Structure 1
Amino acid sequence: MTQVPNPRVCIIGAGVAGLTSARYLQEEGISFTVLEATRYVGGTWRYDPRVGTDENGLPLHTSMYKHLRTNLPKPTMELNGFPLPKEAPSFMKWETVYKYIQDYVKHFDLEKNIKFLHNVILISREENLWKVKHQNVVTGEQFEDEYDFIFVGTGHFNKPNYPDIPGEEMFTGTIIHSHDFKESHTYKDRRVLIVGAGPSGLDIAIDVANVSKALIHSHHSKAPFKTVFPENYKKKPDIKEFNATGVVFEDGSYEDIDDVIYCTGYQYYYPFLDKSCEVEWRQECVMPLHHRMVNINQPTMLFLGAIVKACIFVALDAQARYAAALAAGRFTLPTKEKMLEEWNKQVEEIRSKERPLADLHVLGDKEDDYYASLTAESGIARVPRHMIKIHKMLLRTMFQDLYTFRDYVYTIVDDENVTCTLETENTYL
């Protein structure tokens, strides 16, 4: 990729991915504009009691629910060079995180470069430039601007993924996706089915179990959870089919159900990308990407936040530093052939294990290797290894008890070491 002098960068979205990108581009002295379809910063971290569409007819992208507390501890939720308040607890309510994001915008004076209420309609590649069509969602006026780089920062927590289960159309109860879950009191004394055991599925199951008559949890997770759930909780396998009043499961058992909450994840969704962008997005993946970020066919387009199973704030900050360094010409990408070769190796490894292509976006136990590779290629500061240790400690306490894992406090000793203690007693893990 040839270095671009005085590049102009378009950032799509003013969530954490877009805001961290804006901060580092600003530090590099690079011209940029953030296009944000709403009137707010913070993306999914802003709670909105509404579902469906907003006042301008656009889909509500936030997936926040009223009583959410982070499932990652404080050190992993801190953006580089901008400490969280000392008084903030180890596991914070969404309000604390959202206020922190707002303070981040003010501290780095980012709002001046954000065009609020501008929805991106189309991105295309013409004559070595990116053309971005966007619309003022209030006036309807359309604009087209030219850029040298595109940073797609819309994340992947806004387009719900619904399963396709036989008989669903016959069911007379309510069905929602966790994207539209707001608070548990709606389900008081109801028979509720939760589908899925990812972070949202587990969190919502515990929340709803406190008020529901029965909590039926359908999932096939093999995670070694030891949590003792309340008497109204019942674990079930995958769903075979619906009928008018309930669900038949794969083991042949049946449960009467009033309400269903699908906690079945999200789709990658970039309807504004033209074919000239030369990137393929499906509901389960985006490809081909170098470092799960750089569009290999058009490497001046980067996707930030298209990763899963990671310390997401830490990962977004690292990706934003990498992306800004690339736009500034501080390093050179490998050749297209080399990037494709590496990407094809990843695909073959996944297929050899008969795993879905969604695994292309998973960091998981390779998270530390990922940060090391970003540093090795770009020269950005290395994410400290204690972040990975925190993540491993967290998983251990989470598997032990979903009700108490947020009672632990994580203290960073140095770049390599962390202590994990209960708030009521000192226990080194």
Structure 2
Amino acid sequence: MTTTRRVCIIGAGMAGLTALKNSLAHDLEAVAYERHSGVGGTWIYMERKEDENEEDVHSSMYCGLHTNLPKEVMGFPDYDFDTNIEESFIKSELVLEYLQNYSKHFKLSPFIKLEHEIVRVRPRNDGWEVTVHDLRNDRYFVEYFDFVFVCNGHFTTPMYPETKDLDKYRGNRLHSHLYRTPNILKGHTVLVVGGGPSAVDIVHHIYLHAAHIYLSHHLETAPRTEFMPNVTQKPDIQRFTEDGAIFTDGSSCAFSYVIFCTGYKYTFPFLSVDCGLSVDVNWVHPLYKHCLNINKPSMAIIGLPHQICPAQLFDLQVRFALAFFTGHKQLPSRTDMMAEMEADMEERWANGVSKRVAHKMGPKQFDYYDDLAVTAGITKLKPVVCKMMTACSRRYIFELDTYRQSRFRVVDDENFVRIA
């Protein structure tokens, strides 16, 4: 007699849903635990009270957000967005609806426990002991699993820069995690700190409301902002003052609001020390191919890489991990996995990558996708996905005023067309 192996999935956002769907497709007994009342993770818009602690706010979604990738690459490889949606760059509500429909299409609801929070995960014999808090009934219980997918996302715990004299600044401060609507900035002079998608997009979101905006960043090529006449770009901050900041070029300015678009910390408060993982700033290790826990390879962390195509990557990482969980492929030795990780990270450190962005992919993402697929012997991403990603690369910075007007249509697995 054989016992069906069990897999625990932590989170029912984009990564958790594909982990659940693929686990069930591999004939595993799977359960996804989600601490909130619905599926969708960071795509759920949550109002917040002005005095609410940032640690209590799960989603970073702000009102009116549109995707910065076209929907044609935003979906999973086995389930498309509604073809009746004409736009390629869509509202966040449509992404949430897509995830809800994905869950319905693959009949995932019976395997999702909403309002259940994972309290502790620790190794037990050859598997995992998982302590769960049933929030609705305020009840704790323990379950045992053979495998664990960690899909808790990484847009929850804000990261702030260590900038001199920040404590002296007396104005309002906010992390992008807590930003919701531009109304609170009406008439304010605002400093936005950061050069990533959220910083540039929030500048565009607020410029019609704020009196003036300063955008502080260290991008090698400056974003094009001349279509926003009240935006001035600045280099990195040298130090804060009581009413503003002095920048590394010696210039200064005063402002009444600062928004930090400075990223997030990877946190796994539910993992016990003996799970065998460490987080050094934002470098999670030791991981085989930024995914499998080398010390306990029956655990996979899904979604650490950034500057990637999210849903496609999550699905690929899950299928990669399942190839080893189910025994279809044999893992290399621990020594070989450690050696590969160390070589990869040495190359990253040598190229100036910091621990803060240790899992960044960017242009390396396409090699990474192929490597996962070839190593695990699984289906690769369709070439059209990679071609479209290349076509959209960093356009959110250099064509911010027009790039969301583009529309794409997938012709076949290899080709796409851009529609005027």
2:20 aligned counterpart, secondary structure: helix
Unaligned runs of 5+ in 2: none
Q: How does 1:309-320 map to 2 (within 5 A)?
A: 309-320=307-318
In structure 2, what residue type is equivalent to 1:264? T
1:166 aligned counterpart, secondary structure: coil
The whole-number CA distance in structure 2 between the counterparts of 1:287 and 1:329 is 23
The whole-number CA distance in structure 2 between the counterparts of 1:133 and 1:208 is 43
Sort the Cα spacing of 1:355 and 1:366 in 2 relative to 1 into closer, same or farther, 3 A: closer
In structure 2, what residue type is equivalent to 1:104? Y
1:60 partnered with 2:57: yes
In the TM superposition, what whole-angstrom CA distance separates every residue of 1:322-344 from its partner, at most 9, and x where no partner exists?
23333322222222111111101
2:97 aligned counterpart, secondary structure: helix
Contact kept, 8 Å, 2:197 with 2:396, in 1: the verdict is: no
Deviates most, 192-201 or 5-14: 5-14
The one of 269, 283, 300 equivalent to 1:285 is 283
The residue that corresponds to 1:329 in the other structure is 327
The whole-number CA distance in structure 1 between the counterparts of 2:165 and 2:153 is 32
The whole-number CA distance in structure 1 between the counterparts of 2:140 and 2:21 is 27
Contact kept, 8 Å, 1:15 with 1:43, in 2: the verdict is: yes
After TM superposition, which residue ranges in structure 1, 4 or more long, deviate above 6 angstroms? Answer: 52-55
In the TM superposition, what whole-angstrom CA distance separates every residue of 1:389-412 from its partner, at most 9, and x where no partner exists?
111111264454111011111222
The residue that corresponds to 1:164 in the other structure is 162
The whole-number CA distance in structure 2 between the counterparts of 1:419 and 1:358 is 36
What is the TM-score of this pair, normalised by structure 1?
0.93
Question: Per-residue deviation at 1:131?
Answer: 0.8
The residue that corresponds to 1:425 in the other structure is none
1:271 partnered with 2:269: yes
Contact kept, 8 Å, 1:51 with 1:60, in 2: the verdict is: no
| Alignment length (residue pairs) | 418
Question: Per-residue deviation at 1:355?
Answer: 2.5
What is the TM-score of this pair, normalised by structure 2?
0.95
Deviates most, 325-334 or 120-129: 325-334
The residue that corresponds to 1:100 in the other structure is 98
Contact kept, 8 Å, 1:194 with 1:201, in 2: the verdict is: yes
Q: Cα RMSD (Å) of the superposition?
A: 2.0
Question: Per-residue deviation at 1:33?
Answer: 1.0
The whole-number CA distance in structure 2 between the counterparts of 1:369 and 1:173 is 45
The one of 73, 95, 112 equivalent to 1:76 is 73
In structure 1, what residue type is equivalent to 2:324? L
The whole-number CA distance in structure 1 between the counterparts of 2:351 and 2:306 is 19
1:37 partnered with 2:35: yes
Unaligned runs of 5+ in 1: 423-429
Sort the Cα spacing of 1:415 and 1:14 in 2 relative to 1 into closer, same or farther, 3 A: same
The one of 4, 25, 28 equivalent to 2:26 is 28
Question: Per-residue deviation at 1:276?
Answer: 1.0
1:361 aligned counterpart, secondary structure: coil
Sort the Cα spacing of 1:399 and 1:198 in 2 relative to 1 into closer, same or farther, 3 A: closer
The whole-number CA distance in structure 2 between the counterparts of 1:37 and 1:396 is 34
Q: How does 1:8-407 map to 2 (within 5 A)?
A: 8-50=6-48, 59-88=56-85, 89-223=87-221, 225-395=223-393, 397-407=395-405
Question: Per-residue deviation at 1:231?
Answer: 1.9
1:164 aligned counterpart, secondary structure: coil
Deviates most, 37-46 or 241-250: 241-250
Q: Percent identity?
A: 34
Contact kept, 8 Å, 1:122 with 1:274, in 2: the verdict is: yes
Question: Per-residue deviation at 1:34?
Answer: 0.8
The whole-number CA distance in structure 2 between the counterparts of 1:375 and 1:261 is 39
